[in-house]
Amino acid sequence: MTETSASGRSAATADPIVPKPVSGTVDYLDQRVGAASMIKGLARKIFPDHWSFLLGEIALYSFIVLLLSGIFLTMFFVPSMAEVHYPEDALPVTMQGIEMSEAFASTVYMSFHVRGGLLMRQIHHWAALLFVASMVIHMLRVFFTGAFRKPRELNYLVGFSMLILSLLAGLTGYSLPDDVLSGNGLRITDGVVKSIPIIGSYMSYMVFGGEFPGTDVIPRMFTLHILLIPGLILALVALHLFLVFWQKHTQYPGPGRTDKNVVGYPLFPVYMAKAGGFFFIVFGVLALMGGIMSINAVWNYGPFDPALVSAGAQPDWYMLFLEGSLRLMPGQPEFVILGWTLSLNVLIPAVVLPGLLFTFLGAYPFIERAVTKDMGEHHVLDRPRNTATRTSLGAAFLSVFIVLLIAGSNDLVATHFGLSLNAITWALRVLIFVLPVVVFIITKRICLALQRKDREVVLHGHETGQVRRTADGKFYEVHQPLDEYERWIKVGHHVYRPLQLAAREDANGVRRPGGHLDNLRTSFSRFFYEDRVEPVTPTEIAAAHGNGHAEITEGEPTHAGELTSTGGTSR
């Protein structure tokens, strides 16, 4: 022990690599927790750089802002549904003497009589909107670039769970101020819960501690909102970040980047300065928004009253898809079977549809893996165009989500564009089935076209706009060939081919076990990989250059039937 400390000190004095306070601190910590090895392992760890990697950071930083502003709010918010009268001498004038719950009264009072109270409320609300938005977009980035592939499937699930939890955080937080909007939000939640077969009525009773609204729900939501849900999110954030460190970040394809290396900048100093700086930017922007842009001015809505509702009211954006889903559903499918009421007109849009959408999202990495049967680790991201089917599925998914968002604002759309509400609703009812199919087809076309475009550029170079004349009087455009670094981005990717159908019966006519599953997998695989464009090969380039500039690119999709090998080409 003394030996280490002595050498640590002597290292600091004899050869001052770092200033003494630093070496002293490191030495102190090293001897107690082994800090030097941690620094050795982490300080110069390489992180790849790309703007889209900031999306996850925005989510993280807005979560921190939520924690900080939330702590401020807890100091002044009173989570009670006891009825009080708003003080006669407090602002705003419109609320003076009005009967309301303590929760509502304290929210209003903190907005007008706590310096910075309104600012913190507004920061908190804007941060909540940004938090969920950045998480969703971050997830889209992960989806479309294939960052969820092995070995990151589990971290994908961690992120997915955080998304669900953040929706719950938003739902519980939105309910706390106990204004007309939040009360009706709770009421809709109550109606949805009641539609659950058999236990729904009891679940509603459990949430509200009796009948809606009762006096328990806000204290309960409060505990969920400030303790349980943020606690869970925090734990998952820690796990998420640990796994990012442990598995190292993915990187976009580029020259010199492979599945066996990481190209980027060291954690200390570049990444720390950029990421740390970015935290302050997010915080700063949210604080500015909170200072300038009013949000959820609850005193304009008034305290909750079960007889009141405001027309044209919108939930926060991340709940809008549910609202839209409820609005689109026709009312007919409610049935009474043997005296039991099955309310499919609520259950399908509010439980089944979101359930399906989220299951697809959560299960996607596993679906794709089953289809590719790809056992390898992937650290270089896909360019979305090169995974046409995945990209198209994602786009189709998004189109459903967007239809639901529009449906959630159909009344605003109707008044804004002077259209009939019923007509819009009917149009959206059709669109929700048709649009995903159309979007799928179009996106796939676009992806394949972009791949063909890549081939063309690789084969013939960039157009320069300069036209020359040959000796025999013909005109041609000068093309600038790609250098090998730019070319690599367009030719380096792996192309999957459909799994080959293994015969269901062996040579002796005996059925193989699992033949059915294999059939299913093969047809899925064909769905995913039948249409594809192969990247340019050196031979093709040589041929193209040999044939001169007038060559027309060959890049039509090849079809499974023409292939003999099931193997893919590799990076």
Partner 1 sequence: MSDQHHSSEVGRPDDDGGAMNLPERFENPGLEPHRHRLGDSDPKIAKRSERQIVFIFLISVLASIGGLVGYFLIPVDEPNVLNVRLSTLVLGLGLGLGMLGIGVAAVQWARALMDDTEKIEDRHPMSAGSAVQQQAFEMLRDGAKEANVARRPVLKGAVGGALALAPLVYLVPLIGNLGADWDISKFAHTAWRPVRGGDPEMYYQGQFRYLALDPQDTRIRAADVTNNNIVHVIPRGLPEQEHYLEEKAKAVVLLVRVDPALLKESPERASWSYDGIVAYSKICTHVGCPVALYEQQTHHLLCPCHQSTFDITDAAKVVFGPAKRALPQLPIAVDEEGYLYATADFDEPVGPSYWQRER
Using alpha carbons, select from 502, 488, 518, 500 the residue that is nearest to residue 567: 500
* 185 near ligand HEM, rule: CB under 6 A: no
* 225 near ligand HEM, rule: CB under 6 A: yes
CB of 491 to partner 1, least distance (A): 5
Per the CB < 8 A criterion, the answer to whether 145 and 66 are in contact is no
- Tokens 């979560």 belong to 63
Cα–Cα distance measured from residue 235 to residue 510, given in angstroms and rounded to the nearest whole number: 52
107, interface contact from ligand HEM, partner 1, none, CB < 5-8 Å by kind: ligand HEM
Site string for ligand HEM, 145-174 (x = CB under 6 A): ---------------------x--xx--xx
Q: Which is nearer to partner 1, 164 or 421 (CB)?
A: 421
Give phi and psi for 416, each to the nearest 5.
-70, -40
Contacting range for partner 1; rule: CB under 8 A; set: 1-9, 127-135, 186-194, 519-527: 186-194
Q: Considering only residues 65-84, where is the footprint of ligand HEM by CB under 6 A?
A: 66-67, 70-71, 73-74, 77
Torsion of CA 224, 230, 232, 235, to 10 degrees: -160
SS3 assignment, position 380: strand
* 264 near partner 1, rule: CB under 8 A: yes
Cα–Cα distance measured from residue 458 to residue 482, given in angstroms and rounded to the nearest whole number: 7
Q: Which is nearer to ligand HEM, 181 or 400 (CB)?
A: 181
Residues 6+ apart with CB under 8 A from 503: 512
Instruction: Give the rounded distance of the alpha carbon of 2 from its chain centre.
Output: 52
Of 81, 128, 142, 396, the residue at the interface with ligand HEM (CB under 6 A) is 128
Q: What is the DSSP letter of 179?
A: B
CB of 407 to ligand HEM, least distance (A): 22
475, interface contact from ligand HEM, partner 1, none, CB < 5-8 Å by kind: none
* 181 near partner 1, rule: CB under 8 A: no
Using alpha carbons, select from 162, 138, 126 the residue that is nearest to residue 57: 138
* 192 near ligand HEM, rule: CB under 6 A: no
Tokens linked to 34: 């082994």
SS3 assignment, position 558: strand
Cα–Cα distance measured from residue 384 to residue 6, given in angstroms and rounded to the nearest whole number: 56
Of 491, 533, 544, 560, the residue at the interface with partner 1 (CB under 8 A) is 491
Q: Which is nearer to ligand HEM, 227 or 542 (CB)?
A: 227
* 45 near partner 1, rule: CB under 8 A: yes
Residues 6+ apart with CB under 8 A from 478: 464, 466, 467, 468
Of 339, 473, 513, 546, the residue at the interface with partner 1 (CB under 8 A) is 339
Q: Considering only residues 57-96, where is the footprint of partner 1 by CB under 8 A?
A: 89, 91-92
Bridge partners (DSSP) listed for residue 340: 337
By CB under 6 A, name the binding residues for ligand HEM. 66-67, 70-71, 73-74, 77, 107, 121, 124-125, 128, 131, 166, 169-170, 173-174, 176-177, 225-226, 229-230, 233, 296
